[in-house]
Amino acid sequence: MLQYILAEHPFFVATGALYAAAAGFYAAAWRSTRALVGRAATALLCAALAFNAGLIVERWIEAGRAPFKSLFESLVFFAFTTGVVYLAFERLYRTRVFGALAALLTLALLGYALGKWDAEIVKLPPALQSAWFVPHVVVYFVGYAAVALAALLAAVQLLAPRVPLLQRLTTLRAGTILTGKALDLEQMTYELIRFGFVLLTVGLLVGSVWAKSAWGDFWVWDPKENWSLVTWLVYGAYLHLRKVRGWRGDRAAWLVLLGFAVVMFTYLGMSMLPTAEESAHVYTG
């Protein structure tokens, strides 16, 4: 399989190589005092995203539909949305500290997609042939990208006191932090979750309108619908509890990680449920 992909799909390989190069340059920026290293890392990530977008467009043209049906297609799109959200995060907070982790996450998503390679074009079932299909998927995966990055920050927050390298990330002042200000990991995590929660809410609403047009009811208790609701409730609880005394620091970070674990189960683990075959939303490729 790997030799086939290397020979027949060099564009996919080049995308992964650019993500890997971006991760390397972001990591180098942790130690380098030259701003050029950090800028090169950002440029490489932008190039990787351009190639990633090319993969999506290529598949869209080949399939004659939005390439969001199979697990392989969704993983390629997830990698793209994660990179885009990270770049917005980098620009907003003017820091490249977490660029290596974000680039490695996108690379991991592409690597997992490699194991789920789907050369055959699958037609959409009638229920998915809807104008709601694209906005529903796009909103959800941008939201997933935001909470994935929040989970990375929460993990750094929990591990930093125990791992010297991660502790050092929050105090760098070279090409990684452009403002010279200390990083507030918990506040940054909160902002990402708040943004992601809005998108998850919109995704639920769009999905319910879609369900009404496809099946006649706003909520049909599909297994994936139920777990999407669980995800929404976990993050809603985080946003609420953050205002409650005692729910800051490590406890809040653990709740963020719990929320992301639920997201990953909703996305990747649904096929393990006995009721998975009853769902039109479960990725089985």
Environment class of 261 (CB within 10 Å of its CB; exposed 0-12, middle 13-18, buried 19+):
middle
Query: Average of pLDDT values for 185-201?
Result: 95
Mean pLDDT of 63-86: 93
251 class by beta-carbon count within 10 Å (0-12 exposed, 13-18 middle, 19+ buried): exposed
Confidence band, pLDDT 50/70/90 cuts, at residue 175: very low
Amino acid at 168: R
- Residue 174: per-residue pLDDT: 40
The residue with greater pLDDT, 180 or 167, is 167
Question: What three-state secondary structure class fits 177?
Answer: strand
Residues 207 and 203: their CA atoms lie apart, in Å, by: 6
Place of tokens 């690379």: 107
Higher pLDDT among residues 223 and 240, named by residue: 240
**pTM listed for this prediction:** 0.89
Q: What is the pLDDT of residue 167?
A: 67
Domain boundary assignment for the chain: 2-278
Q: Is the pLDDT of residue 274 over 60?
A: no
The mean of the pLDDT values for the chain is 84
The fraction of the chain above a pLDDT of 90, given in percent, is 48
